[in-house]
Structure 1
């Protein structure tokens, strides 16, 4: 290319890619916002799967009978069409299943509600019309509705990338918008992925991006920003989690070259340990005194930290998109390339590894010591760790692809899958339950 032309085009290319755009983050302290944080008492029976990765945000299903075999016909209770496209995983509140989705033409970002008993649509709410980022600002695998909803039993919470900002929205359980608030600007490299996490009366959102990343907590009732802290100028995609580790509540997130702990009530940083990678997608999982994380790009590492962020063990193996799942003293993951690992959670020693096949984006769940995980071809592998060896129970085909992770409620499993019909892809929500006597 002509050197003069290249020099002329370079600023334009940088601008179009977002590299030249920076949005300094205005930090807000909890003292300045004056938002009062209160405990929220919810009926846990009403919220069997209220958020990304379930009741504890870790993929662990409360003990209950759960099927291990299914097909397009076998053990299907109902299936229903889902408009548009999204990687938002289902959540289950009382007897209703909720999803986020996005329709390309005309541009709409929506929240959907389905009857849990029949799969029939209960309502559809248009959260945004128009405002999608350009095609070059979203990864070809991503959608405009990647994040999973969260619910406190009174309101549903979600956030979309729209009009170059992250906009948080609360809806009541009948689909009415309660409030909507821009929580910060966003310069997209590959799109927006994180799901919100609840802490007492706060809803916490992550928005790591190359224009100026941040974590922000919003009052669930009013939508007022309680606190916001800057995270630097790095694009990363992990959802935060809140867990009690080492006897205190910690807001934990991987990405930006570290695993970092914050006080969820104030946003104050407690510690940050360099590890994992610049960009991560998976959500941190924890035990009572340990923290586990994996990632990412361009580095690769799975690591175990103490409650204070000290590195206990580390291996040069990663899962980029799928999250880890912890089952007692065993740590499981299926990486993006379809290799399943089981580590001793105390030492990091490999107990076994097994190639399942296919590529993976969805995250695993574990129920009754059995692990479930879907690949991008719509196959769900069901396996267990028996006497420290891998034991495949079943491989179950449903649809033609699966990007979203499953939800479980009252022995039913809910899967969002893609179905190819000629040259056009559709999405379905499917309810599964064992029909064996």
Structure 2
């Protein structure tokens, strides 16, 4: 899932001290006191053979017909947040219980399961009888799609929560270590890697066009990289809060969303912005069909725009967040929602045709966020009109998972002032969260000014 931002009152707005150098440390501890597996929230869905398939946060996989009738459901051992992938009649589902499941899509019976050492966030991609996928155990796997036997594995420097793509003899994927990897799909040998300045997270497949693969990073950039040698062809900066998800193509346009609530359309040849649509909340994935772009948002709305101009055609209100890239069949667009429903809408008008409710109607809580903060130092030198303001972004100094239900993060920032004066120090805390403040269960923030340093 993706992260949004809100504000938190630090309580230090009126702090005035005489300092030579000021250091602020923030230690953030929070505990998830809920069972993350509870809830029927749905993130993604897939269409295959005229049927709709999806998993939910209660661990169920569903098969539904085009009229919204349940055909079968299969119970896994953990949360499912990605769309199923297919090879013939076999369906593959990654699960937070550490398994990649292979299920017969016609009967709903388990064929095999492949066990990793940590959560499997995505369902991977299939090609030439092989399913490729990553795990939070830092490994990227190639497994025989029929038997479930491991062919090879490749160790990265971080968790893998991105969907790969296959191009020619390459399999490519992003990683939390900030690298975008290209491997030989047959041997697992590394061909090249491209490093960004933050982690890469994308539940959508990064598109490849004319030998260039396009993906985003939390360093705020959209990248275009040559598949043969990993050389950068283009980059485009969008916002300040990081990017996740992969762009979707419409002719020469790369269309992708930001965490600031902006959907961008960029010309892939010039790297110039063509249009933008602002709606104020996070979006992750979009789809293009028949000259229209479809996407959901954390504002509970599902949008349809003209893909060439960015003009809104219609919107549909759901009961919660809609994260996943929508899918289509028989004139319908299918929208998975965190409100525990999948909606079937008329793709031309946006009118609801039917909705399917998951077994549980309790929405799943979402995990705690990464956070950042900003320290504002306002210099008041006691000289008329001599006031200036400098801002210092935090650095993530320490982040460790203490258990499945607790994460501790420490941040720090240091001012550059070397001369004694009176300063008003204003800490503005930008709190990241997934989904919204309504999902917070426990929250404790400690801000500790460092000792003053004398000359």
Residue in structure 1 matched with residue 248 of structure 2 by the alignment: 325
| Higher radius of gyration, 1 or 2 | 2
Residue in structure 2 matched with residue 230 of structure 1 by the alignment: 155
Separation in 2 of the partners of 1:335 and 1:176? 39
Alpha-carbon distance, 1:236 to partner: 4.4
* Larger RCO of the pair (alpha carbons < 8 Å, separation 6+): 2
Q: Assess if the C-alpha contact under 8 Å between 1:90 and 1:98 holds in 2.
A: yes
Superposed, 1:36-435 pairs within 5 Å as: 84-103=39-58, 109-116=59-66, 118-128=67-77, 144-162=79-97, 166-172=98-104, 173-182=106-115, 184-186=116-118, 192-207=120-135, 209=136, 212-232=137-157, 234-243=158-167, 248-255=168-175, 256-275=177-196, 277-282=198-203, 283-296=205-218, 299-308=219-228, 309-317=230-238, 320-361=243-284, 363-386=285-308, 389-419=309-339, 427-433=340-346
Separation in 1 of the partners of 2:262 and 2:197? 18
Distance of aligned partners of 1:85 and 1:404 in 2 relative to their CA distance in 1, 3 Å threshold: farther
The TM-score normalised by the length of structure 2 is 0.63
Structure 1, residues 398-437: CA drift from partner, whole Å, max 9, x if none? 3333133311112221112244xxxxxxx1122223698x
Separation in 1 of the partners of 2:202 and 2:289? 23
Separation in 2 of the partners of 1:379 and 1:176? 35
Distance of aligned partners of 1:434 and 1:197 in 2 relative to their CA distance in 1, 3 Å threshold: closer
Structure 1, residues 85-122: CA drift from partner, whole Å, max 9, x if none? 3444111122321111232xxxxx22111122x21111
Aligned pairs, number: 310
Structure 1, residues 228-276: CA drift from partner, whole Å, max 9, x if none? 11112x2342111113xxxx33211123222221122222211111226
**SS of residue in 2 equivalent to 1:277:** coil
Q: Assess if the C-alpha contact under 8 Å between 1:277 and 1:301 holds in 2.
A: no
Bigger helix fraction:
1
Mark the runs of 5 or more structure 1 residues left unpaired by the alignment. 1-12, 18-82, 104-108, 133-143, 420-426
Q: Assess if the C-alpha contact under 8 Å between 1:254 and 1:276 holds in 2.
A: no
Q: Assess if the C-alpha contact under 8 Å between 2:178 and 2:200 holds in 1.
A: yes
Moved over 3 A (4+): none
Separation in 2 of the partners of 1:279 and 1:304? 14
Separation in 1 of the partners of 2:269 and 2:41? 37
Separation in 2 of the partners of 1:98 and 1:240? 20
Bigger strand fraction:
2
Alpha-carbon distance, 1:192 to partner: 4.9
Separation in 1 of the partners of 2:120 and 2:41? 12
Mark the runs of 5 or more structure 2 residues left unpaired by the alignment. 1-27, 33-37, 350-455
Alpha-carbon distance, 1:148 to partner: 1.5
Structure 1, residues 142-179: CA drift from partner, whole Å, max 9, x if none? xx2112111123111112121xxx21111112011111
Structure 1, residues 261-305: CA drift from partner, whole Å, max 9, x if none? 112222221111122622423542210221111111xx2221111
Separation in 2 of the partners of 1:272 and 1:331? 22
Separation in 2 of the partners of 1:381 and 1:435? 12
CA RMSD of aligned residues (A): 2.6
Structure 1, residues 347-399: CA drift from partner, whole Å, max 9, x if none? 212223331232224x100012211111023212222244xx43222222233
